[in-house]
Chains A and B, each alone.
Chain A
Amino acid sequence: MVVAVALAGLATAAAAAWSSRILDRPVTTASSELEDLPAWADSERTFLTEAQIIQAKAHGALDRDIESVLNVRKQMQYGEFIWNDRNVPKGPVWVRVDLKRQILSVFRSGHEIGTTVILYGATEKETPAGVFPVLAKVKDYRSITYDGAPMPYTLMLTGDGVAIHGSDVRWGAATHGCIGVPLPFAAKLFGQVSKGDQVVVISDQDPSELAYR
């Protein structure tokens, strides 16, 4: 009898604890391997053929050879990005920025490892097009021209302050000439790119400009 009452008491206490969330419930987690990959991003990639690369070069969309691009199964929204460098070997890194399409892609040894939607300069403060080697990397940079505005994870492109840095990428926003990327993406990019790596900024207004630089 005593034992039964004790057991009943224990059971009720356990039930009460469970219902009041005192006990820790196991949290169901997704597979850890690709947990930071959004659902709309494919874990596979698309390899480009020789013909596709020649075509892209002819259009001015590329100025060098690439191997593969990430599969993006939807139109990316402001603030969204993919980063997937699984099985991509170490090698030269370069960044492609398409101002008109508002897309930035990071390539490592010919394979695209990251892509995001960017912000770029407003009409009166245009982002320059061309090939820029990264001049400097500053993690917590403050703008000199714009009252110490924070520019986290700055990759400086020009001497007059045009840089790639983390910012609040949202609809209806523009920069003073910099290239704004989402903050988590900026952190990953900062870790990947080193000083001297090239950033190719493409603007459709002057496709010929790329060839002369």
Chain B
Amino acid sequence: MTAATTSSRSGRRLTAKGRARRAAARRRKMYLSAAAAMVVVVGAPLSVAGYLGVENSLPGVAAAKSFFAMMADRSPGERTKAELTKTKRPPAAISRPKQRALGKVTKPAPPKELVEALVPPPPKIGDAPLALAPVTSIGPMLITPATPGGVVIPPQSPPGGGGGPPGVEPPTEPPTEPPTEPPTEPPTEPPPPPIVPEPGTWATMLLGFGLTGLMLRRRRRKTALPQLA
């Protein structure tokens, strides 16, 4: 009896449980199918629009800004009075340095007149009488203490009589030599070899290795052949 009641009770309970479970399952299925339907309904047109390249943004979301705000967004801002008087830009306005590395600084060449005055061009032996005139004109200025023979200096310097006296040449030649000596340049150091080999070097290296490999291969084949025989 008790067992039957329990069984009947349990049976009844079971059926109730089963019904509830079935209802829950049905509800779950309904929710799932509703969600799937929603996905299909919303997704299909969007995917089609995306496939066709149609703009699919919702109206009123992207275009909610006013025309005024759109113009203000793209504007660099209002110009201030300070902007016109200051010469340096604010740090925020500088996007990128224009020059990444500074150029090589070389000393400016001294003016030509100065160079010529300090270091006169060396006279050639062939045109000695012609070159004499300018040289001697500078000569007394630079080398007056060095030349003991002051006899020669004044009258011969004007170019008018330059070609005339050949006997004057030997004494005037010594003063011309000293100014030619100083301009000799200091010996420049040889430039360091480049770290990366040049393409030509690469090519030669590759050719050499290739030839070596070929020769080795050839020799091995030659030595291998008699063994086989």
Contact = CB atoms under 8 A, between A and B. Distances in A.
Query: Do A and B share a complex?
Result: yes
Interface of A: 1, 4-5, 8-9, 11-13, 15-17, 19-20, 44, 46-49, 52-53, 55-56, 59, 61-62, 66, 69, 72, 74-78, 98, 100-103, 105, 115, 117, 120, 122-123, 171-174
Given A15-B206, A172-B89, A76 B68 contact: no
A175 B215 CA distance: 77
Contact of A174 (B71, B77, B79, B86): B79
Nearest to A204: B78
Identify which of B70, B72, B77, B81 gathers the most chain A CB atoms within 10 Å of its CB.
B70
A19 B74 contact: no
Given A55-B67, A171-B93, A172-B87, A15 B203 contact: yes
A11 B205 CA distance: 12
Contacts of A44: 55
Contacts of A174: 79, 84
Contacts of A62: 67
Contacts of B50: none
Nearest to B88: A172
B146 interface: no
Contacts of A117: 75-76
Contact of B74 (A12, A52, A75, A78): A75
Main secondary structure of the interface of A (DSSP, over half): mixed
A61 B76 contact: no
A17 B71 CA distance: 53
B78 A16 contact: no
Given A12-B203, A55-B66, A100 B84 contact: no
Contacts of A9: 207
Given A8-B214, A12-B206, A75 B200 contact: no
Interface in B187-225: 198-200, 202-203, 206-207, 210-211, 214, 218
Nearest to A120: B79
Interface in B53-73: 55, 59-60, 62-63, 66-68, 70-73
A12 to B, nearest CB: 5
Contacts of B73: 72, 75
Given A15-B206, A76-B75, A173-B84, 10 more contacts: A8-B210, A11-B210, A12-B210, A16-B203, A20-B198, A46-B70, A69-B70, A72-B73, A172-B83, A172-B87
A85 to B, nearest CB: 18
A201 B207 CA distance: 72
Given A8-B211, A61-B67, A172-B89, A98 B202 contact: no
